[in-house]
C-alpha cells in the first residue's frame, strides 16, 4: 500500500478507534441495570429476593437513588430504583434488612456527581464531534481546489525551470519569428509608436516532440515576464459553464500581471470546431470556446496579454479561433534537418560522456525523421545501455543498439529460428540490400540484421542517400523496387514465398497509390483524386475524400497494379543478375547476424567480411573521401 493511500485512510481508522474506546469506557462507567419501580422494589424486599442495597440521595435532592443486586439474577445484573426522599423510605428498608439480613449501605452524598455525569454523557460526543470537524476541515484544506470550480487552473511558471532561446536548438527560423514577441514584451512603445499591433495569439503547429512547449517556455524566459501555462483539457468539466468561468478568471489574473504570456497546450481539446458530431455539439466545450474567443478579441481589451497555443491537429480547430485578431500567426514547428539534429544532439549531449570514436554528425545523418524528443530519448537509451554494460563512456555500440531499440524495440535474443527460417530471413534482407546497392534512387542500406526485433524477423535500416524535400518519379519507383527486393530474393533462391514481406508490400502499395491519386504520376494524368483531410505529418490516410466514380476507382486500382507489377519484373531482373552478391551478403549475415554499411561496402568491393583492422582502415579512407567531397562542395 502506498504512503498516499495510507494517509488518506488513516483518519477514518483513527475515528473508528476513538468511537470504540468511547463506547467501551461508557459501558464500563455505566454498567447495565434493570429499572424497577418503588412498588416492585418493595415487593422484591418482601419476597427476600434482594442481595444488596445501596442508598444515596439524588444529585437533584428530590429522590433517593437505590441500586444493588437481586438474588434471582443469574448474571449478577444490577437493579436501579428511584424512591421518595423521606424517613419512611429509610425506615422501611431498614426494617426489611433486619428481617431478611441483606447487605445495606446508606450514603450521605450523591453517588454520581455532576462532573461524572458530564464526562459520561457529554464528553464522548464532544470528542467525536471535534474529531469530525477536524477531519473534514483537513480534507477540504487538502482538496481546496475541488471547491473552486470556477477558478483558473493556469499555473505561474517559476524561475527554477527557466528556459531561453539558447535551450532551443535546431529551430532557427521559428525562433526568429518569435523574437518579435520578446521585443514587444520588453519594449512595447517601439511598436505602438509605429502604429503596429503585435499578434494577440501565436499558434504553434507541428509533430509531437518537435519542441512547441519548449519554444513557449523560451519566449517567457527571454522576455522575463509572468508565464501562465495550462492544458486545454483543464477547461472542460462535467458542469456546463465551469470552463467559461475558468477562462474569465485566467484572463483576470493575466490582466493584473500584464504584460504576460498565457500558454495553452493541446488547444484542440477545447478549440474544436463547433456544431460537429451527431446530435449537435458539446455544450460545455463550446461555451468554453465562446468565452475564449470573446476574451481574445471581443468588446473588452486585453492589452499586453499574448496567448501562445500548441497543437498537432490544426485541421480540427474552429475557424473563428484562427482568424486575424485572435491567433494571427501560425508557426509550423517541423522536424529538424541534419543540421538541426546535430545542434539538438549537442544540447542533450552536454551532461553525457562519449568515447572519442563517437561523432554527433554521424548520428545526425542516421536519424532522418527524428524529432527533438526522439533524439533526446536516443541518447538517454544509449546512456542506460552503457551503465548496464558497466562502461564509463558511451560508444557507437550503445548508440547503434539504442537506435534499433527506439525504431524497432529490443532484440528478442531468446527467439529461436529454425535453420531454414534463419536462411530465408538472411536472403530476404540481402535482397533489399542488393537493390539498394544497384539502384541509384533506392534507399541506401545502413545496417542489416537477422536478429528479431519487435514483430519483425529481421531488420534492414535503409535511409535516403540524400536528405531531400522533393522526390522524382524514378526515385519513387526505385524505392518500390527496394521494398520488393526481399520477396523476390526468397522466390528466386528457394522457389517459394513466405509471409515476411507483408510490411514491405504495404509500404510499396502506399507509394504507388500516392503516385496515382495524389502526385499525378500515372497514365491517368496530372489529376488529384484523393486529398488528405487530416494533417499530412500525422501520417493518416483513413480520412481521405474520394470524389470520383466507380470507373475511375477501377482505373486507379489498375494503375497501382501496373506500377507494382512493372517494378516487380525490374527488381527480379536485378536480383537474377546479382545472384553472387545476394549469396555473399546472405552468407555474411548467417555468419555474423548483423552487418553495418561500412562492412557491406567492404564486402561488395573485396568479396569478404573485413577484420577489425581492415574495417578501421576502410572507415578512415571513407572519412577522408567525405571530407574531400565537402571541401569541393564549398
CB 292 within 8 A of CB 280: no
Q: Which residues touch 438 (CB under 8 Å, ≥6 apart)?
A: 574, 578
Question: Does residue 259 have a cis bond before it (omega within 30 degrees)?
Answer: yes
> How far lies 541's CA from each of 504, 510, 532, 535, 544, in Å?
18, 10, 7, 9, 6
Give CA separation, 342 vs 147, 188, 272, 372, in Å: 49, 35, 36, 10
Write the DSSP symbol of residue 524: T
- CA–CA distance, 378 with 360 (Å, rounded to integer): 12
Instruction: Please give the C-alpha separations between residue 632 and each of 440, 625, 628, in angstroms, as whole numbers.
Output: 22, 11, 6
Helix-strand-coil split of the chain, %, nearest 5: 55, 15, 30
- Number of helices and strands in the chain (H, E): 22, 16
CA distances from 355 to 384, 393, 395, 596 (A): 15, 6, 5, 19
By C-alpha distance, which of 152, 321, 155 is closest to 252?
152
Query: Which member of 284, 429, 475, 491 is catalytic?
Result: 429
* Cα three-residue angle 141-145-150, rounded to 5 degrees: 140
Alpha-carbon distance values, 220 to 158, 513, 537, 620 (Å): 11, 45, 28, 46
429 is catalytic: yes
259 phi and psi angles, rounded to 5 deg: -75, 145
DSSP state string for 119-155: HHHTHHHHHHHHHHHHHHHHHHHHTGGGT-TTS---E
Cell of 467: 536528405
Q: List phi, psi (to 5°) of 335.
A: -70, 140
Cα distances from 485 to residues 19, 58, 513, in angstroms, run: 79, 108, 19
Residues 318 and 327: their CA atoms lie apart, in Å, by 11
Q: Which residues pair with 310 in a beta bridge?
A: 204, 265
Length of the chain counted residue by residue? 634
| Residues recognised as catalytic | 429
Amino acid at each position: 500500500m502506498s504512503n498516499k493511500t495510507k494517509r488518506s485512510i488513516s483518519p477514518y481508522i483513527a475515528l473508528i478507534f476513538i468511537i470504540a474506546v468511547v463506547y467501551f469506557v461508557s459501558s464500563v462507567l455505566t454498567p447495565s441495570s434493570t429499572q424497577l419501580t418503588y412498588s416492585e422494589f418493595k415487593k422484591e424486599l418482601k419476597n427476600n429476593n434482594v442481595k444488596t442495597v445501596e442508598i444515596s440521595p439524588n444529585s437533584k435532592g428530590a429522590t433517593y437513588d437505590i441500586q444493588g443486586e437481586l438474588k434471582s439474577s443469574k448474571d449478577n445484573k444490577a437493579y436501579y430504583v428511584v424512591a421518595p426522599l423521606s424517613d419512611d423510605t429509610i425506615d422501611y428498608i431498614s426494617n426489611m434488612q433486619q428481617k431478611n439480613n441483606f447487605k445495606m449501605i446508606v450514603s450521605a452524598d450523591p453517588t454520581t456527581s455532576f462532573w461524572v455525569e458530564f464526562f459520561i454523557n457529554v464528553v464522548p460526543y464532544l470528542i467525536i464531534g471535534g474529531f469530525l470537524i477536524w477531519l473534514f476541515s483537513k480534507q477540504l484544506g487538502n482538496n481546496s481546489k475541488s471547491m473552486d470550480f470556477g477558478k483558473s487552473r493556469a499555473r505561474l511558471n517559476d524561475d527554477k525551470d527557466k528556459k531561453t532561446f539558447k535551450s532551443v536548438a535546431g529551430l532557427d527560423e521559428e525562433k526568429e519569428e518569435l523574437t518579435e514577441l520578446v521585443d514587444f514584451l520588453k519594449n512595447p512603445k517601439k511598436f505602438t509608436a509605429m502604429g503596429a499591433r503585435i499578434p494577440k495569439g501565436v499558434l504553434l503547429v507541428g509533430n509531437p516532440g518537435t519542441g512547441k512547449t519548449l519554444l513557449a517556455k523560451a519566449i517567457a524566459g527571454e522576455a522575463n515576464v509572468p508565464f501562465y501555462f495550462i492544458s486545454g483539457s483543464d477547461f472542460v468539466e462535467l458542469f456546463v459553464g465551469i470552463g467559461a468561468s475558468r477562462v474569465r478568471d485566467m484572463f483576470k489574473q493575466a490582466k493584473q500581471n500584464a504584460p504576460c504570456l498565457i500558454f495553452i497546450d493541446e488547444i484542440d481539446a477545447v478549440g474544436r470546431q463547433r456544431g460537429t458530431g451527431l446530435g449537435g455539439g458539446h455544450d460545455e466545450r463550446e461555451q468554453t470556446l465562446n468565452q475564449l474567443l470573446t476574451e481574445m478579441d471581443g468588446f473588452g481589451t486585453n492589452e499586453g496579454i499574448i496567448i501562445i497555443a500548441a497543437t498537432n491537429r490544426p485541421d480540427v480547430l474552429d475557424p473563428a479561433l484562427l482568424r486575424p485578431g485572435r491567433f494571427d500567426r501560425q508557426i509550423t514547428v517541423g522536424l529538424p534537418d541534419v543540421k538541426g539534429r546535430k545542434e539538438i544532439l549537442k544540447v542533450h549531449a552536454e551532461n553525457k560522456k562519449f568515447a572519442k570514436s563517437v561523432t554527433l554528425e554521424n548520428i545526425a545523418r542516421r536519424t532522418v525523421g527524428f524529432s527533438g524528443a526522439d533524439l533526446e530519448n536516443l541518447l538517454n537509451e544509449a546512456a542506460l545501455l552503457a551503465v548496464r554494460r558497466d562502461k564509463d563512456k558511451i560508444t557507437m555500440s550503445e548508440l547503434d543498439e539504442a537506435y534499433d531499440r527506439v525504431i524497432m524495440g529490443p532484440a528478442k535474443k531468446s527467439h529461436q529460428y529454425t535453420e531454414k527460417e534463419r536462411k530465408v530471413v538472411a536472403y530476404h534482407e540481402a535482397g533489399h540490400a542488393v537493390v539498394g546497392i544497384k539502384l541509384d534512387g533506392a534507399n541506401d542500406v545502413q545496417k542489416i540484421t537477422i536478429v528479431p526485433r519487435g514483430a519483425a524477423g529481421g531488420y534492414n535500416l535503409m535511409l535516403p542517400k540524400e536528405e531531400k524535400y522533393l522526390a522524382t518519379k524514378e526515385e519513387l519507383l526505385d524505392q518500390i523496387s527496394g521494398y520488393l527486393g526481399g520477396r523476390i530474393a526468397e522466390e528466386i533462391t528457394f522457389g517459394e514465398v513466405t509471409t515476411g514481406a507483408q510490411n514491405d508490400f504495404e509500404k510499396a502499395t502506399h507509394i504507388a497509390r500516392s503516385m496515382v491519386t495524389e502526385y499525378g504520376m500515372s497514365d491517368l494524368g496530372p489529376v488529384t483524386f484523393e486529398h488528405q483531410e487530416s494533417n499530412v505529418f500525422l501520417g493518416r490516410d483513413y480520412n481521405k475524400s474520394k470524389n470520383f466514380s466507380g470507373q475511375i476507382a477501377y482505373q486507379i486500382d489498375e494503375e497501382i497494379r501496373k506500377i507494382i507489377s512493372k517494378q516487380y519484373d525490374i527488381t527480379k531482373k536485378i536480383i537474377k543478375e546479382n545472384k553472387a552478391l545476394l549469396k555473399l551478403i546472405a552468407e555474411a549475415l548467417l555468419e555474423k547476424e548483423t552487418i553495418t554499411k561500412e562492412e557491406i561496402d567492404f564486402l561488395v568491393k573485396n568479396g569478404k567480411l573485413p577484420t577489425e583492422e581492415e574495417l578501421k582502415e576502410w572507415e578512415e579512407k571513407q572519412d577522408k573521401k567525405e571530407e574531400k567531397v565537402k571541401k569541393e562542395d564549398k
